[in-house]
Amino acid sequence: MTAVDEPQSYSGTRKGEPDKTIEEVWAQPTGLRWWSSVSHRVVGKRFIYTGFAFFIIAGFLALLVRTQLIVPGNTFLDNETYNQVFTMHGTLMMFLFAIPILEGFAVYLIPMMLGARDLIFPRLGQFGYYCYLFGGIIVLSSFLFDAAPDGGWFMYVPLTTNAFTPGVSADFWLIGITFAEIASVTAAVELIVAILCARAPGMSLTKMPIFAWYILITAFMIAIGFPPLIIGSILLEANRLLGLPFFDPTVGGDPLLWQHLFWLFGHPEVYIIFLPAAGMVATILPTFVGKPLFGYGFVVAAVISMGFISFGLWAHHMFTTGLPILSLSLFSAASTMVAVPTGVQIFAFIATLAQGRPRMTTPMLFVMGFLFIFVLGGLTGVMLASVPFNWQAHDSYFVVAHLHYVLIGGMVFPLFAAFYYWAPHITGRMMSERLGKWVFWLMFIGFNATFFLMHVTGLRGMPRRIATYPEGIGWDRLNLLSTLGSYILAAGVALFIFDFIRHLRHGERAGRDPWRAGTMEWLYPTVAIGFNFHAIPPVETREPLWNNPNMLGKNAEDVEGVMRKMHDGRRETIGCDPVSGSPVQIVRLPHPTFTPMFTAFALAVAFAATIASAYFVAIAGIVAGLLGFTIWAWEPSDSGVTRDAGMGYVLPVNMIEKRSHMHIATVGTMLVLYALLGSLIFALLYLWNVYPNFAAQTAQPNLLWTGLSMLAGLVLLILAMINRRVAVADKIGLATVMNLAVILASIACTACLALAIQRTDPWGTALGATMWATLGFVALNLFITLYWALFNAARKVTGRVGAGQSLPDFNLATYAKGTAVMVLITGGLFLAATLGGLS
Amino acid sequence: MTALGRQVWGLTIPAVAWAAHFIAIYALISAACAPRGLIDIPLMFGLGIVATVLFGIAALWPTIRPPKGAALTGAIRVGGLIFAVAILFDVLPLIFSSGCGG
C-alpha cells in the first residue's frame, strides 16, 4: 500500500512520512529508541510486567510477615523491621500492583476491543507509565536508605506526623505514592476518552464489549476517588515540611480528617480494583461457555450502581472512631446495599455458566476460584457492615481474612485467569494447561489454608499488625497453618513464573483466536503488527467474531472497514460520537518520542529532591517538567482539513467541537480537578463544623477583596465564554487579544483571593491553614490557565496556527470556565465566612 | 437528542439522584450531630424525608417511564430500582433513630 494519497497543502499541519507504508509508519522503534515507544501495546505490557514485579516483591514481603508469625515469640524480624515490611507489603500491593496492572490490561486491550489503532493519547500513556515507574522506584528506594515507611499502608496521623515519625520514611510514602498516582489518574482520563471517542463505526454504547463498560466506570471512579488521597497526602506532607496544623487538635485540626480523606479514596479503591477484574471474568466466561454474557443490560446497571454506591461506604472503616451512631447507621446501610449490585453481577455470571457446558481450561478454573472465594469475602463484608459485629472484629485478623478474600479472590484470581487467557495474545504461544492446573490448585489450596483460618484467629482475638504473640492463647496452631498455607500459595505463583518463562520458547504456537473468543482483540493472528487494524471494520454486535463470519473468514488485513487509505503518512484512527459510535472525525496520533519520558523524569527529580530537602533542585525539576510539557504541546496543529475515511465517510481531522476527543479530555481533567477542590471544601466544612471554637479564632476574610475576587472570577468566566465563540469563529487576531485578557483576569483573581485572606494565619488554626491550601489549589489552576493562554498566544504570534486550527483555544475556554467557577466557589465560601462569621 | 442519548440519561439520572440524596443525608446528620449543632433533630428528620421523596421520585422515574428505545431499557429499570432501594436504605437510620445516639 502506498502511504500518501494526494496530500493537500495546508499551513501548519504535518505531512508525516509520505514515502512509507502503513506498516512502516506504525513500526515500533528498536534499540535505545524502544524506550520512546508510545504504542498502547508496548505501554500496556510495561504496566503489566512492572506491576507483576511489584507483586512479586510485595508477595515476598508477605512471606516475611508470615514467617515471623509462624511461631509465638519469634525473633526472625525485629519490631521496627516488621512494621516496615507489613507497611510496604500493603503499599506495594494496593498502589503499585493492583491498580497499575489492571490499567495495564485496559491500556493493552481496550483499543483492540473497540476498533482503534492505538489509545487516544499515546504520549500521555507513556508519561503515565514513567510516573508510575519512577514513583515506585522512589518508594522502594526507601529500603536503601533504611527509611522504609512503617506507619501502615493507610499512614494514619498523628503516628505519621513529625512528632512520632521523624526522618523521611513517611515522606518517601507520601511523595512517591502521590507521584505514582499521577499515572493512575492520567490513565483514567485517557481510558475515559478512548472508550467514549475512539470506537469502531457503529459500535454504540450498547454494543460495546462488557469489559469496556467495566473500565469506563472504573476510570470515572479513579478520576473522582483518587483526588481525596492526593489532597490528604499533600496536606500531610505540608504538615511535615511546613508545620501547617491540618491534623493538630490543639489548634482545631483533626486526625480523623486524614481518615476521612484516606477512606474517601480507600474504599472506592477496593471497587476500583474489583471492577476491572470482574470485567475480565465477564469477558473470559462467555468464551468458554460459548454463549454471550447473560443479562448484559443488568450487568451494566449493576456496574454503574456499584461505581456510585461504593463512594458512600468510606466511614465503615471508621466505626470505632467515635462518630455519631446516626452516621454509623447511614454508612452501615450503604455498606449493606452495595451487596445488591455485586449480587446482580455474580448471578449474571452464574446464569452465563448455566447457559452451556463450559470448557474447563486453566482460565476457567481461575474464574471458578474467583466465584468461590469472592462470594465468601463478600459475605464477611456484609457481616462487617453491621456496626455491632464490626466493633468486635475491628483491627483483628478477621478483617485481614476478609480483605484478602475480597482482594485476592476478587482481583488476583481473575488476574491469573487473564494471564493465561491473554498470554497467547502477548507472546504468541500457549501456556501449559497441565502446569496451569497445578498453579491453580496450589494457589487455591494455599490461599484458603492461609486466609480461611485467619477468620478463626481473628475471632479468637488476635489483633492485626502485631509482630509477635505469646504462646498458649489459642493462636499458635492457626498461625502455623496459615504460614504453611502462604508457602503453598507462593509455590503456585513460582510455578506460574516458571511456566511463563518456559512457554516463551517451548509453548505451543497460538495461531489466530486460539480460545474461539468473540471480541475483536483476537481478529489478527497473535503477536501481530505494531498496530491494530489495516482497516477498522464496522461493528454491529457485541461479539463481532462470532456474529460476522467475514471477520475470521478472511485474512485480517483484508477485512473491510474505514481508514484503509493513509492520506498524510501519519498515524491516525477513527473518532466517534460518544453515544452512537458514528464516525465523526479522524484522530491524528503521535509518533514515538522521548518527551513524555523526560518530562516524567524531571518531575521525578523534583519529587525526590523534595524528600532530600534539596529545594533548588526540586525547583529546577519543576521548571524542566514545565519545559517538557511545553515542548510536548508545541507542535503543529492537525486540525483544519477533511479527509476521505472510506465507506462513504469524509471527516474532519481533529475536529473543533464539544465531541472532540481533546475537549472531552479537558472536561475529564476538570472532573479530576473538581474532585480535588471538593476534597478541600470537605476539609474546610468538616473543620468548621467539628471545631466551632477554633473556627471563631480564625481571622475572617476581607469583605472588599472577597467581593473583588468574585468579580474577577465573573470577568474570567465571561472572557472564557467569549474565547470559545472567537475560537469557533476562527478569528486568530482576536483570539490572541482574548488570550491576553484571560491572562490579566487570572492574575487579578489570584491577587484578590490572596488579599482576601491575608490576615488569616495559616499556622494559627487548622481552618486557616485549609483556607490557604484551598487558595493555593485555585491559584495553581489560575496559573495553568495563564500559562496555557500565554502558550496559545505565543503560537499564534509565531505563526504556528493557521486557519481552522483553533482547537487549543476552544479547549482553553473550557478550562478557563472551570477555573473561573472555582474562583466563584472559593470566593463564595470566603464571602459566607465574612458575612456569616466563622464563629 | 437521539433515543440512545435519552437512554444514557435514563441510566445516569437515578445514579445522580442517589449521590445527591446520600450527600444530603450525610450533610443533615453532620449539621445536626456535630458540635456546631447547626440544626435540630426534627428539622434534620423533616428535610431528610423531603430529600428522600424528591430524589426517590427522580431515581424511580426512568424505571416507571423508561425512555423510548429497547437497547438499554432493562438496564435502566434495574439501575433505577437499585438506586431507589439504596435511597430508602440511606434514610432508614433517620426514621429508626430518635437522636444522634452519642
CB-based contact (8 Å) between B98 and chain A?
no
- Residue A519 burial (C-beta neighbours within 10 Å; 0-12, 13-18, 19+): buried
Q: What is the 3-state secondary structure (H, E, C) of chain B?
A: CCHHHHHHHHHHHHHHHHHHHHHHHHHHHHHHHCCCCCCCHHHHHHHHHHHHHHHHHHHHHHHHCCCCCCCCHHHHHHHHHHHHHHHHHHHHHHHHCCCCCC
The residues with which A136 forms a beta bridge, in sequence order, are: none
CB contact under 8 A, A340 and B94: no
Dihedral sign (CA A533, A537, A543, A546): negative
Looking at chain A, which residue has its C-alpha nearest residue B10?
A: A301
Closest Cβ–Cβ partner in A297, A340, A688 for B85: A340
Dihedral sign (CA A362, A368, A371, A376): negative
pLDDT at B70: 64
pLDDT at A750: 97
- What average pLDDT does the segment B93-99 reach? 87
Q: How far is A524 from chain B (nearest CA, A)?
A: 29
Task: Report the alpha-carbon distance of residue A26 to residue A695 in Å, rounded.
Answer: 60
CB-based contact (8 Å) between B76 and chain A?
yes
Cβ atoms of residues A201 and A538 within 8 Å: yes
CB-based contact (8 Å) between B43 and chain A?
no
Q: How far is B95 from chain A (nearest CA, A)?
A: 10
Task: Report the alpha-carbon distance of residue A572 to residue A214 in Å, rounded.
Answer: 26
Contacts for A506 with CB less than 8 Å, ≥ 6 apart:
none
CB contact under 8 A, A579 and B2: yes
Determine if residue A31 is left, alpha or beta; phi over 0 gives left, psi from -120 to 50 gives alpha, anything else beta. left
Task: Report the alpha-carbon distance of residue A180 to residue A127 in Å, rounded.
Answer: 11
CB contact under 8 A, B93 and A311: no
Pairing of strands A583-589, A571-576: antiparallel
A to B CB pairs, distance under 8 Å: 127
CB contacts of A308 in chain B (<8 Å) are: 15, 18-19, 83
Task: Report the alpha-carbon distance of residue A748 to residue A725 in Å, rounded.
Answer: 23
Closest Cβ–Cβ partner in A329, A686, A691 for B93: A329
CB contact under 8 A, B4 and A308: no
CB-based contact (8 Å) between B39 and chain A?
no
CB contact under 8 A, B82 and A690: no
Closest Cβ–Cβ partner in B7, B8, B93 for A326: B93
Q: Which grid coordinates belong to A309?
A: 454506591
SS3 (DSSP) at A429: strand
Contacts for A498 with CB less than 8 Å, ≥ 6 apart:
A435
Pairing of strands A571-576, A642-646: unpaired
pLDDT at A775: 97
CB contact under 8 A, B36 and A688: yes
pLDDT at A6: 46
End-to-end CA distance of chain B: 50
CB-based contact (8 Å) between A697 and chain B?
no
CB-based contact (8 Å) between A837 and chain B?
no
Closest Cβ–Cβ partner in B74, B94, B100 for A324: B100
Closest Cβ–Cβ partner in B8, B18, B82 for A579: B8
Dihedral sign (CA B48, B50, B53, B54): negative
pLDDT at A14: 58
Dihedral sign (CA A740, A744, A749, A754): positive
Q: What is the 3-state secondary structure (H, E, C) of A412-426?
A: HHHHHHHHHHHHHHH
Domain boundaries, chain B: 17-96
CB contact under 8 A, A340 and B86: yes
Closest Cβ–Cβ partner in B19, B34, B100 for A325: B100
CB contact under 8 A, A301 and B4: no
- Residue A550 burial (C-beta neighbours within 10 Å; 0-12, 13-18, 19+): exposed
Helix or strand (DSSP H, E) at A162 = none
Burial A744-777 (b: 16+ CB within 10 A, else e): ebbebbbbbbebbbeebebebbbbbbbbbbbbeb
End-to-end CA distance of chain A: 74
A456-506 pLDDT, tens digit each? 999 999 999 999 999 999 999 999 999 999 999 999 999 999 999 999 999
Interface probe, candidates A217, A330, A698, chain B, greatest B C-beta count within 10 A:
A330
Please give the mean pLDDT across all residues of chain B.
90
Looking at chain A, which residue has its C-alpha nearest residue B16?
A: A308
pLDDT at A1: 37
CB contact under 8 A, A324 and B71: no
Closest Cβ–Cβ partner in A297, A312, A692 for B75: A297
Q: What is the 3-state secondary structure (H, E, C) of A285-310?
A: HHHHHCCCCCCHHHHHHHHHHHHHHH
CB contacts of B51 in chain A (<8 Å) are: none
- What structural domains and CATH numbers belong to chain A? 39-506 (1.20.210.10), 531-652 (no CATH), 675-836 (1.20.120.80)
Distances (CA, A) of A582 to A190, A204, A304, A633: 20, 8, 24, 28
Contacts for A615 with CB less than 8 Å, ≥ 6 apart:
A609
Q: How far is B58 from chain A (nearest CA, A)?
A: 15
CB contact under 8 A, A308 and B15: yes
> Which is nearest to A814 in space by CA: A728, A749, A736, A693?
A728
CB contact under 8 A, A301 and B79: yes
Of the pLDDT bands very low, low, confident and very high (cuts 50, 70, 90), residue B66 is confident
Closest Cβ–Cβ partner in A307, A326, A579 for B101: A326
Helix or strand (DSSP H, E) at A572 = strand A571-576
CB contact under 8 A, A337 and B26: no
Dihedral sign (CA A445, A447, A453, A459): negative
- Residue B50 burial (C-beta neighbours within 10 Å; 0-12, 13-18, 19+): exposed
Closest Cβ–Cβ partner in B2, B36, B101 for A324: B101
Residue with cell 470448557: A359
Determine if residue B50 is left, alpha or beta; phi over 0 gives left, psi from -120 to 50 gives alpha, anything else beta. alpha
CB-based contact (8 Å) between B88 and chain A?
no
CB-based contact (8 Å) between B102 and chain A?
yes
Residue ranges, chain A, pLDDT below 50: 1-12
User: Considering chain B, what percentage of its residues have pLDDT values greater than 70?
Assistant: 96
Cβ atoms of residues A365 and A442 within 8 Å: no
> Which is nearest to A743 in space by CA: A712, A773, A768?
A712
Name the phi and psi angles at A626, rounded to 5: -65, -40
Q: Which grid coordinates belong to A403?
A: 480483605
CB contacts of A336 in chain B (<8 Å) are: 89
